[in-house]
Amino acid sequence: MRNGSMQRFCSTVSSVDRERELARSRPSRLRRALPLIGSANKRLGQPTRAQTTPRGVRIGEVLMPELPEVETVRRDLDKEIAGKKIKSVEVTGARSTRRHEDLKTFIDPLVGRTVKGVDRRGKYMIVKLDGPDVLIIHLGMSGQLLRAPSVRTEMPKHTHVVITFTQGGQLRFIDPRTFGEMFVTTLDVIEEQVPELAHLGIDPLASTVTWKAFGGLLTLRSAKLKTALMDQRVLAGIGNIYSDEILFHAGLRFDRSTDSLKPEDVRRLYRSTVEVLQEALRLRGSSLADAQYVDLFGNPGGYQAEHQVYARDGLPCRRCRQTITKEKFTGRTTYFCPACQI
């Protein structure tokens, strides 16, 4: 792990230790040990599973990477592979390329092509080539993209697709649960193959999005706030972690109705959405104890140390010192502060 990653993880552990001491000094209902975040293995692409899990994240429960994580990987990819020519493609796990009945229809359009750049629509990454085709990548629940500097770099377990470049090095797709995928298509038919792309809402990280456009989509139909934030037809890329963090930042309850929002509430929620996602992106996403998300170089994100409510049930709110609560909401565990969020 790089020095920066080690420092970031040491900082995370230190902050967790401080919170543990605070919790011990509180009444017994707060005296539950805080888990440590799992650190990434030094061998590229083999993160170590933590011995304990964050509060609310069950053993075996895996959370899908959200917008900050996918955008972090996209930016890394764009810097690392743009301009490189594909020498060969090896597929060892056919489920990752399941849209292709014949592997030749996946491999042949890629070999010999040069990468022009990497775009994103929602959680789908689009690798543009110098031909008519594009390579679409979705990480699913446990997918990882890792840049190996050499073909001699140890191959991680669950590696399903390996792309080797003529300039050296490889791009590897690792996916233990195989819910992620890669497929080759053309942009003119992509929405036929992935219908949800035709109905994606606004991208919260796009600089052109205004609070009025945000509010117009959010309040288009009556729904609970968390449901609306996670509706991909409203906002693309927000999931369970960041919806909880955004709502805390805005001081709004998850079960409040969208049609109860005043204009000042909408503006505040818009600002919170942008600020939380931008800060998470700056810190390269959130890596939890399931150790599934790492960046292109095998390093964990750093935003988990900044979580205000997610997986902090039973601990004091960092703003008001009331106890963070968790509830089941539409089948998902939701974290909030009953005092700060109204």
Q: What CATH number does the domain containing 299 carry? A: 1.10.8.50
pLDDT at 104: 97
Provide the pLDDT confidence category of residue 291 given band limits of 50, 70 and 90. Answer: low
Does residue 185 share a domain with residue 106?
yes
- For the residues 216-230, what does the mean pLDDT come to? 95
Catalytic residue from among 120, 123, 128, 312: 123
* CA nearest neighbour of 175 among 97, 108, 281: 97
**Domain's final residue, options 180, 199, 218:** 199
Provide the pLDDT confidence category of residue 207 given band limits of 50, 70 and 90. Answer: confident
Annotation marks residue 176 as catalytic? no
Provide the pLDDT confidence category of residue 289 given band limits of 50, 70 and 90. Answer: confident
Provide the pLDDT confidence category of residue 164 given band limits of 50, 70 and 90. Answer: very high
Catalytic residue from among 35, 47, 54, 65: 65
Provide the pLDDT confidence category of residue 110 given band limits of 50, 70 and 90. Answer: very high
**Domain's final residue, options 148, 172, 199:** 199
- For the residues 155-172, what does the mean pLDDT come to? 96
* CA nearest neighbour of 293 among 335, 235, 332, 241: 241
Is 341 part of a structural domain of the chain? Answer: no
Is 39 part of a structural domain of the chain? Answer: yes
The mean of the pLDDT values for the chain is: 85
pLDDT at 63: 76
Catalytic residue from among 8, 47, 55, 66: 66
Give the residue, 255 or 168, on which the prediction is more confident.
Answer: 255
Does residue 221 share a domain with residue 307?
yes
Q: 13 pLDDT exceeds 50?
A: no
Span 23-41, pLDDT tens digits: 434 433 222 222 222 233 3
Does residue 29 share a domain with residue 109?
no
Does residue 285 share a domain with residue 158?
no
Does residue 226 share a domain with residue 107?
no
**Helix and strand counts by DSSP (H, E) for the chain:** 8, 10
Q: 205 pLDDT exceeds 70?
A: yes
Does residue 86 share a domain with residue 7?
no
Does residue 56 share a domain with residue 205?
yes
pLDDT at 292: 85
| 36 and 52 Cβ atoms separated by less than 8 Å | yes
Cα 326 to Cα 17, 33, 82: the distances in Å are 22, 17, 43
Does residue 233 share a domain with residue 171?
no
Q: 94 pLDDT exceeds 50?
A: yes
- For the residues 207-231, what does the mean pLDDT come to? 94
pLDDT at 312: 97
Q: 8 pLDDT exceeds 80?
A: no
Max mean pLDDT range (90-99, 111-120, 281-290)? 111-120
Annotation marks residue 181 as catalytic? no
Is 342 part of a structural domain of the chain? Answer: no
Is 139 part of a structural domain of the chain? Answer: yes
Q: 57 pLDDT exceeds 80?
A: no
Does residue 176 share a domain with residue 214?
no
Domain of 110? Answer: 68-199
| 172 and 146 Cβ atoms separated by less than 8 Å | yes
Annotation marks residue 123 as catalytic? yes
pLDDT at 79: 98
pLDDT at 93: 86
Does residue 116 share a domain with residue 51?
no
Does residue 282 share a domain with residue 171?
no
Strand order in the sheet with 181-185: 115-121, 124-129, 134-138, 181-185
Number of structural domains, the chain? 2
pLDDT at 62: 55
In whole angstroms, give the CA distance from residue 221 to residue 31: 42
**Domain's final residue, options 199, 232, 259:** 199
Annotation marks residue 245 as catalytic? no
In whole angstroms, give the CA distance from residue 248 to residue 246: 5
Does residue 54 share a domain with residue 100?
no
